Chains A and B, each alone.
Chain A
């Protein structure tokens, strides 16, 4: 969706296609994150503008990291686009403690990982989980969730 338009847009900033394809992916992921956290509800612009805004922010971030910002600022007046940058949290690194927890999390069964993800990350309620999976009712989901938390703790304390 808007992939080639985005790549063309990004080329104005002197980045090559493979880097831009990466940025395009990351921008998509960022929008998905915003949707999950409910931030998208307040957005009034079109999807395309939003995607490009995030992409632009990521491009600038990359250019700054590569310390090309000096020359880029000089050229900035030559690049005409009305896209407003949309700031996103680019820090998705896990802390040491979280990295450790991740190894235990991955040792859980797929079902457990799924239920915990739906509940803790995607923010679904128990009732919504019943609707979107094949669990019979709220009680089975609740039981499964607490069993999974228990297994996770057992793995940690092993």
Chain B
């Protein structure tokens, strides 16, 4: 029996006794074989992970459809009119309160994204610009960090600086500028791009622009990758 088939039978759990003996022998003595087994075991896990993710996405779609159907329940027109009147009056009387609530929700939910792009190693001799920037960022010195992120972005054009710049701006209470940076970041593609919509939602929340905040939260939920649960909870609070 060839090694290829042997490994596949092992993964399927269908090794016969004699195959088992051969398999164990190869694992003990043949490093290339052992490596191949490891690779296919990992492949098995990865394929499962991806397949589950695809199924999960499908279920999320079903869930969304279900919600839409629920919304389509016919209601009498006068009821709609009455609710509209009620909503308008509530909005009118509670605008002040909602401004305050949005700020509370912002404080509850916003936390600058941690530094994942430039690990800072203690006792490092070399204090280059990147280290300095993220050092400030991690210490919460956002003003200093901001200047350096801008400089670094000009020099290196790496999109993740836009993302961290936006985080610093949000901390510094400058949501308008954060929005500009996040929108620019969304046009690029790096490992952080999927997180940008969450922070856009945060920025709009800070500006009390609830419509746009909700829009971005819905994108976060649809993407189903980052902060989905938080986004769902926040969305229900805003609705």
Q: A: which residues have CB within 8 A of B?
A: 3, 16, 18-19, 21-22, 25, 28-29, 32-33, 92, 94-95, 97-98, 101-102, 105-106, 113, 116-117, 119-123, 146, 152-153
Contacts and interface: CB of A to CB of B under 8 A. Distances in A.
A120 B59 contact: no
Interface of B is mostly: helix
Interface stretch (B84-92, B141-149, B229-237): B229-237
Contacts of B233: 18
Contacts of B46: 94, 98, 101-102, 105
Contacts of A106: 50
B18 to A, nearest CB: 21
B59 A116 contact: no
A105 B50 contact: yes
A109 to B, nearest CB: 14
Interface of A is mostly: helix
Interface residues of B, number: 27
A150 to B, nearest CB: 11
B76 interface: no
A28 B48 CA distance: 15
Contacts of A21: 63
A27 to B, nearest CB: 10
20 contacts: A3-B66, A18-B229, A18-B233, A22-B229, A25-B59, A28-B59, A29-B56, A32-B52, A33-B48, A33-B52, A92-B52, A94-B46, A94-B49, A95-B42, A113-B50, A116-B47, A117-B50, A120-B11, A152-B43, A153-B39
Interface string B1-22: 0001000100110000000000
Contacts of B122: none
Given A22-B229, A146-B4, A120 B63 contact: no
Nearest to A17: B236
B55 interface: yes
B128 to A, nearest CB: 26
Nearest to B49: A94
Interface of B: 4, 8, 11-12, 39-40, 42-52, 55-56, 59-60, 63, 66, 229, 232-233, 236
A120 B56 contact: no
- Which 3 residue pairs are nearest across A and B when measured between Cβ atoms? A121-B47, A117-B47, A121-B48
Given A18-B232, A105-B46, 12 more contacts: A29-B56, A92-B49, A94-B49, A95-B42, A102-B46, A105-B43, A106-B50, A117-B50, A121-B44, A121-B47, A121-B51, A152-B43
Given A3-B66, A19-B229, A113-B50, A32 B55 contact: yes
Contacts of A105: 43, 46-47, 50
B50 A98 contact: no
B59 A29 contact: yes
